[in-house]
Amino acid sequence: TPAPLAEARPAPANPREVAEALASDLATRKFDQAWARLDDEFQKGFSAQKLGDQFDPMSADLGAFKQVIVTREEEGPGGAKKIFVTCEYERAGLPLMVVVDQSLRVSGLRPVTPKREQLQQAAREFVELMAASQWAKLVERFDGTMRKALTEEKLAAIVGQLKSERGEFRQILSMRSKRGYVDVDHAFEKSNAVIRVAFDQQLRVNGLHFREGWNTPGYVTPKSFTEKEVQIGTEKLPLPATLTVPSGKGPFPAVVLVHGSGPNDRDESSGPNKIFKDLAWGLASRGVAVLRFEKRTEQYRGKLQDEDIPTAKEESIDDTVTAVDLLLKTANIDPRRIIVAGHSLGAELAPRIAQADPRVHAIVLLAGPTRSEGQIKLDQTRYLVGPWGVSKEEAEKLIREAEQIAARLDSPDLKPDEVVDGIAGQYWLDLRDHAGKLVAPQLKIPILVLQGERDYLVTMVDFEGWKKALQGKPNATFKSYPGLNHHFMFGKGPSVPKEYEELNHVPEQVVEDIAAWVRSH
C-alpha cells in the first residue's frame, strides 16, 4: 500500500502568514522555497544560493530551530506591510523584518539590528566584566568564531598587557555606536584607550579591538575651567550638552559648536579623535566658554520621523538657537558675545543661524563648503577612488554613478519628494536655496573663515569661494593652514580616509587663532 501523501500546507492568506512562512523556510534551510516567496524585483538580485549564503552565518551557533514569533506589524510603502518576526533557536533569537506587498510577495528582507541603547548596554557590561577579570563570563558572550580564536587564557593575557601599559581600569568616559560596534572611551590609571566591541544581531561579541584613546592635548590646562552637563533642544527632542566655562568671575565670551553632516556626538568624534573636545578645552583654557551638544540625528538615531528632520533647519539650526537661549540664561556668560562656530556642514549653516538669530555676535566657519552639493559629491568620488584601491573598472563605475547623482542634486528641476543619494529633494533644495555663501554677504557681524590646505572633502576651492563671496567685506577674516586635513589635524602627503582613525589633535595654533579673534571681537 502506498504511503499516504503528506498534508499540503495551506498557502499564506495574509502578510503576517507570509512573513511567518518565509522566516520558517529560512530557519529550516528551505532556501528554494523562501526564494519563491520573493517578488520579481527581489528575485532578480537574489538567487536561492545567495539567500542561503547570507542567512547561514547569521544563524550559526544558535542551536536547534524552535519556532517563529511575530513581534509587531507596521505600515510600509505603497500599501505594503512591515512584519517583524523572530526566529527562535535553542540559544538565542534572530530578529528579521519582512516587507510583504499587497500581492502577498516579499519585497524586502533584512535582519533587525540591535538598538543603540542595547548595543551600548551590552558593551558597558562587557567592559565592566573585563575590568573585573571575569574571563569565563566574557567568553560566554562571544560568538562561535570568537570562542575559537580567543580563549580565556589568551583574553587574560591581552588585557594583562593592556593594564601593564596603562595601569588599572578606572571608568568609562563615553560610548558611541555605529554599524554594529561600540567604541568605549575608557580612562585607565595612566592614559586613556578606546575599546571597540563589535556585535552580531544577537548581541554576541564578534570583534574586540584596543587602540589609543583621546588624551588631553598639551595646550590644555584642565584646572583653568569647569564642565557641567546641561540640556538644549525641544521638549519633544531634548539634547544632552556640555558647557565648558573658564574659572573666574567672567563674564566670558561663549562659542556654540555646530557639527558637520551625518550623526555626530557632542565631541564630533572620529575614530579616537575629538575635534570639538579639543576646541572646547583649548578655548576654555584661554578664557572662552564653549557649549557643545549631541546632534539630533545622533541622539535619536533610528527614531526620527521624516517631519523631525526635513531640512537642515530642523536637523541643526533650530537646536543651535536653543543653545544660544541657554547661554543667554547662564551666569558668567557675556550675552553680547555669543559666537557660533560651525565645522563642514555646520560652517555652511552658521550664516543662516546668525541670520535667524540676531543675538549671535559673530561666526567662525571651519572648512565650510561653497561648491554645489552635486559638485562636492563628484569631486570627492573622483579623489577617493585612488585611496579606496578599487580596480579601474570599478572606479569608472563609481564615478559614473556619482555623475548621475550630481546631475540630479544640481538639477534645476529637482523635486522636493525626489530621493537622491538616500535623502529627499526637500533637504537638498533647502541647502541650495539658502547656501551659506549667499547668506554670509548679507551679515554685518564679524566672520572668521578657516581652512585646512590638505582637506579633500572641503577644499581650497571652497575657501576661495568664501573669499569671492565676501570680497570687500571688512567684517571677514580668512586664514588657511598648510598640512591640515578636514578635521584640522596635521598630516603629510595627500590626505586619505584612514588618517582619521589615527590619534591626533587640533593644533594649538588653530585654537590660539580662534581664541585671539574672539577676544578681539
What gap in Å lies between CA 401 and CA 11, rounded to an integer? 41
**pLDDT tens, position by position, 235-261:** 999 999 999 999 999 999 999 999 999
What gap in Å lies between CA 47 and CA 73, rounded to an integer? 27
What gap in Å lies between CA 519 and CA 496, rounded to an integer? 35
Nearest to 127 by CA among 27, 195, 57: 195
Same fold flag, 116-212 and 222-370+435-520: no
**pLDDT tens, position by position, 76-128:** 888 899 999 999 888 778 889 999 999 999 999 988 878 888 899 999 999 99
Banded model confidence at residue 7, pLDDT cuts 50, 70, 90: very low
Superfamily of domain 222-370+435-520 in CATH is Alpha/Beta hydrolase fold, catalytic domain (3.40.50.1820)
Distances in Å between the Cα of 307 and the Cα atoms of 210, 312, 470 are 39, 12, 34
**Amino acid in the structure at residue 391:** S
Q: 371: how many CB neighbours lie within 10 A of its CB?
A: 18
- Write down the CATH number for the domain with range 116-212: 3.10.450.590
Task: Give the three-state DSSP class for 79.
Answer: helix
At 466, phi and psi to the nearest 5?
Answer: -65, -40
- Asked, as a colleague might, if the bond just before 251 is cis with ω within 30 of 0, I would say yes
322, exposed or middle or buried, with CB in 10 Å at 0-12, 13-18, 19+? middle
Banded model confidence at residue 6, pLDDT cuts 50, 70, 90: very low
Comparison of pLDDT for 449 and 262, the residue scoring more: 449
Instruction: State the pLDDT at residue 179.
Output: 75
Residue ranges with strand state E in 247-348:
252-258, 269-270, 273-274, 289-293, 333-343
Evaluate whether 487 touches 270 at the Cβ level (below 8 Å): yes
**Amino acid in the structure at residue 185:** D
Q: 509: how many CB neighbours lie within 10 A of its CB?
A: 14
Q: What is the mean pLDDT of the chain?
A: 93
Domain boundaries 15-111, CATH class: alpha beta
DSSP label at residue 490: B
Query: Between helices 392-409 and 373-388, what is the axis angle to 10°?
Result: 170
Q: How do the domains of the chain map onto residue ranges?
A: 15-111, 116-212, 222-370+435-520, 372-432
Nearest to 491 by CA among 340, 371, 387: 387
What proportion of the chain, given as a percentage, has pLDDT over 90? 81
291, exposed or middle or buried, with CB in 10 Å at 0-12, 13-18, 19+? buried
- Which grid cell sits at 327? 547661554
**pLDDT tens, position by position, 41-50:** 888 877 889 8
Nearest to 435 by CA among 375, 384, 490, 510: 375
What gap in Å lies between CA 278 and CA 448, rounded to an integer? 19
**Amino acid in the structure at residue 327:** L
**pLDDT tens, position by position, 403-413:** 999 999 999 99
Q: 273: how many CB neighbours lie within 10 A of its CB?
A: 21
Q: Show which residues are catalytic.
A: 344, 455, 486
Residues belonging to the chain: 521
Evaluate whether 333 touches 288 at the Cβ level (below 8 Å): no
Evaluate whether 239 touches 296 at the Cβ level (below 8 Å): yes
For CA atoms 99, 100, 105, 111, the dihedral sign is positive
What value does the mean pLDDT take over residues 296-323? 90
Evaluate whether 127 touches 172 at the Cβ level (below 8 Å): yes
Instruction: State the pLDDT at residue 14.
Output: 94
Nearest to 401 by CA among 380, 386, 416, 418: 380
Evaluate whether 163 touches 188 at the Cβ level (below 8 Å): yes
Q: 433: how many CB neighbours lie within 10 A of its CB?
A: 9
Banded model confidence at residue 9, pLDDT cuts 50, 70, 90: low
Question: How many Å from the N-terminal Cα to the C-terminal Cα in the chain?
Answer: 100
